[in-house]
Amino acid sequence: MNRLPAIVVAVAALLTATAAWSALKLAVTGQTMAQEAEKFLGSLTAEQRSKAAVPYDDARRIDWHFIPKADGAREGLQVREMNDDQRKAAFALLKAALSEVGYGKARQIMALESLLAELEKARKGKGPLRDAERYFFTVYGAPTATGKWALSVEGHHLSLNFVVDKGQVVSSTPTALCANPAVVMNDNVPSIKKGTRVLAKEETLAFDLLASLTPDQRKAAIIAEKAPSEIRAAGEPQPPSEAPAGITADKLTGQQRDILMNLIDEYANNLPADLAKERHDAVMKDGPAKIHFAWAGADKPGVGHYYRIQGPTFLIEFVNTQADSAGNPANHIHSVWRDMRGDFAIAVK
């Protein structure tokens, strides 16, 4: 007779413990990042630290981009300048800033540089330097539990930017993840398997949503027959200010909205659970009438295509128009998540 209440008590205790654990998780990402940043900086020599540790108010904190740049054009300490222990510390810091999925994507994006180096051998040094260890770690300010500091991890096709204030991550944008090739077409590098798609769901879910639209919905969603060559405001310190375009989510069916939300969450879930939830909740609070989905270009892979998803608090942009380094058309993705309220913890004016 007393068994049911005991089960109820046990379940309640489990739920309470789960809620407590979730609350703890929500509070620790910024603190964990600070701890790992401190360990990373502590592992460096004085010369290395002079590159990796920069004042918070340095103007180059907001100088971001995902294009390849010449030596000296980026701040920070490159992975190739680190010994094994220092690399472990650097990647432990990166792990603290991303989810397991996001960390995996970031490392795969870095690894693709080895494939590009192989594919571009014939250029004999005339093109950009391709190096899987040419990624820069920069800590702006002192990573403490009570102060304000920032982290940048950046290189070709990757730009991750965070601001932590009093142990809480207050900004995680711009978040740029790109891939060349979008689909690996060969086995030139044994460690990168043919068929690898680092940003697969970011593309397939968008095509699924487009394919589900009725003719009238497509008219509202498609903003141009030809895709643009690049995402807007790439490298600029604040997101583009143009008004949203395309079809609003309240004009979609429930199933279509599910696809759209899964697509949005694919981007959000690159971050730890607390930051992903923060992004998800902000989107839900915006409401479907204020979320726009816009498409430009082809409705099939292999031909240039582009989409953006925009609400009051966020902007996602994705473009795949460039050929890869082997000449395969539309096999080179650029994608980004931006904060329409202001990137880098700087409010939009």
The upper half-sphere exposure of residue 133, i.e. CA atoms within 13 Å in the direction of its Cβ, equals 9
CA distance 258 to 212: 12
Q: In terms of Cα–Cα distance, which of 349, 347, 320 is closest to 332?
A: 320
Q: Collect all residues with Cβ–Cβ distance below 8 Å to 127 and sequence separation of at least 6.
A: 120
CA distance 131 to 146: 36
CA distance 232 to 235: 9
Could you tell me what percentage of the chain is helix, strand and coil, using 3-state DSSP and rounding each to the nearest 5? 45, 20, 40
Q: Collect all residues with Cβ–Cβ distance below 8 Å to 30 and sequence separation of at least 6.
A: 164, 165, 167, 168, 169
pLDDT tens readout for residues 39-92: 999 999 999 999 999 999 999 999 999 999 988 899 999 999 999 999 999 999
- Considering the entire predicted model, what is its pTM? 0.91
pLDDT tens readout for residues 222-258: 999 999 999 999 999 999 999 999 999 999 999 999 9
pLDDT tens readout for residues 274-312: 999 999 999 999 999 999 999 999 999 999 999 999 999
CA distance 265 to 308: 14
Residue with tokens 């990042």: 33
Taking the domains of the chain in order of start, what are their residue ranges?
Answer: 22-179, 200-345
* Type of residue numbered 189: V
pLDDT tens readout for residues 172-213: 999 999 999 999 999 989 999 999 999 999 999 999 999 999
